Structure 1
């Protein structure tokens, strides 16, 4: 059975053999204008509070997700910087292990002086 989410209960021709499993916030508000019993009003208030809580939760999670993404970016930058430091250290160690051969001094050699 396919899941359908509608604002209000659709006509039978639009159901396609399945029933809706959830209402949107607008659908609940529209339904409450049709149903007039005390129980319907109480349920409407409870459902609307649930939608408000859900919306608040989503906003809080979005903020948290953005903070986590910022931390990940910083960590990626730190990782790259640490890699560069190790690369430079490796290059310095290679230079120390394989020193360049000394070049003879440029200029004239004077007789009698070493």
Structure 2
């Protein structure tokens, strides 16, 4: 039950879609954010814009004040994170295997 709550706390609504951020997904998959993003880059044709998108500066600034996670300490705030939709998260699980 605790794990479910942890995941639910990492789901946000952006551009009308429920999304999770790259660093939260990296934490859940127990990989570095850099590793997750490299896997996505190697398979970018599998991630169309309705699966994944990079947050704009305004979206990221708005969200940053709401986010309180342990992974923030490791986060590079100079780069806006990727947002993954439900379909993107499903694809991500196949790419990270």
> As a proportion of its length, which structure holds more strand?
2
Higher Cα Rg, which structure: 1
TM-score computed with the length of structure 2 as normaliser: 0.27
> As a proportion of its length, which structure holds more helix?
1
